Amino acid sequence: MTQAAAPSAQELYESFIPLGDPATYTPEACDRLARTIAEINELKVVRRAVILAHNYQRPEIFEVADFVGDSLELAQKATTVDAEVIVFCGVHFMAETAKILNPKRTVLLPDLRAGCSLADSVDADSLEDRKEELKKLYPDLQVACYVNTTAEVKAVCDVCVTSSNAIRIVESLPTNNVLFVPDENLAAHVQENTKKNVIAWNGNCYVHHQITPEQIENVRKHLPHVKVIVHPECRSDVLQLADAVLSTSGMIKYAKESDAQEFLVVTECGLSDRLLLELPEKKFYKSCKLCAYMKMITIDDTLRSLKEMRHPIELEESVRVGAERSLRRMLELSA
């Protein structure tokens, strides 16, 4: 394993200019960050570690990440990692997914408080009860669970889905009735795009659910030419105003490939940061909210994670095997 070159404080300062946040990324802050990044790069070699990061992470985390992506890309990437350690800069269910798919690796989550309100909205026992109830009405029922769930929930589902493949996977199930857990907004979006009967759970993401159509309409009134790109965890009255409904990486691809120059980004704010950094020649307006869980992962905790090998994700083998079945089925169906 070779050590990646760390940027100098000046290089970092210049690369963060497109973020338009000079109060956070001051020359002094960039000097501190550059030293931490160099230390992390050294430790990655010592520990034989790679860093996987979600698109919502902080800009400085992108600097140390070996791979940045959406939930599906991160799950796919986790299956191919042969380094001994995966430091996961994202939320708990994402690190858990990496451990489920690649159990021989040590998977570290830098801060165990990085959970997900959506994943917390369903537990395996309530899901089993609901499944039993619905099977009386719909004997062919299958359960599709969003990747934003615990391993215990994944273990009692038929297939897992992410924001980028939910419609395709529900369509490919050999059944007409599908219980979709836990995101009611994503379930409604799937229902809009399939003739199957999609029965929703009543969970939602506190970050996306608080975005209102009025906020989008207000921007559209003043900037009618902007392309509105929206994450499917938003409410359906918000999705109706979108030019495109996409996963986080889907939004990046759309902005890169589109002839349009200006976009309204309707999701968590980390994604707008990634777009501002990757496409400085285009303009991105934010109609975003911060996910407190995603932002719990800091560069200092990432360094500490590598130094002290904390916090390893542990799973009971029977749960891991059950969850792996749902995830592998998803990976096969989205190949």
Q: Which residues bind ligand SF4 (CB under 6 A)?
A: 91, 116-118, 148, 205-207, 233, 268, 291, 293-294
The conformation of residue 334, written as its DSSP 8-state character, comes to: T
- Per-residue tokens: 37: 């990044």
Asked if 326 is part of the footprint of ligand 13P (rule: CB under 6 A), the reply reads: no
The conformation of residue 161, written as its DSSP 8-state character, comes to: E
Beta bridge partners of 312: 108
Asked if 148 is part of the footprint of ligand 13P (rule: CB under 6 A), the reply reads: yes
Asked if 55 is part of the footprint of ligand 13P (rule: CB under 6 A), the reply reads: yes
Contact 121, 203 (CB under 8 A): yes
- Out of ligand SF4, ligand 13P, none, which partner does residue 170 contact, by CB within 5 to 8 A per kind? none
| Distance in Å, CB of 146 to ligand SF4, minimum | 9
Q: What are phi and psi of 157, to 5 degrees?
A: -105, 165
Asked if 158 is part of the footprint of ligand 13P (rule: CB under 6 A), the reply reads: no
Contact 89, 61 (CB under 8 A): yes
| Distance in Å, CB of 294 to ligand SF4, minimum | 5
Q: Which is nearer to ligand SF4, 141 or 161 (CB)?
A: 161
Asked if 273 is part of the footprint of ligand 13P (rule: CB under 6 A), the reply reads: no
- Out of ligand 13P, ligand SF4, none, which partner does residue 293 contact, by CB within 5 to 8 A per kind? ligand SF4
CA pair distance 24, 260, nearest whole angstrom: 29
Amino acid letter, 212: T
- Out of ligand SF4, ligand 13P, none, which partner does residue 301 contact, by CB within 5 to 8 A per kind? none
Contact 266, 244 (CB under 8 A): no
Amino acid letter, 196: K
CA pair distance 184, 12, nearest whole angstrom: 40
Q: Decide: residue 268, CB within 10 A, 0-12 exposed, 13-18 middle, 19+ buried.
A: buried
- Out of ligand SF4, ligand 13P, none, which partner does residue 247 contact, by CB within 5 to 8 A per kind? ligand 13P
Q: Which of 60, 70, 152, 324 binds ligand 13P (CB under 6 A)?
A: 70
Q: Which is nearer to ligand 13P, 160 or 198 (CB)?
A: 160
Contacts with ligand 13P by CB under 6 A lie at: 55, 70-71, 148, 162-163, 205, 233, 247-248, 268
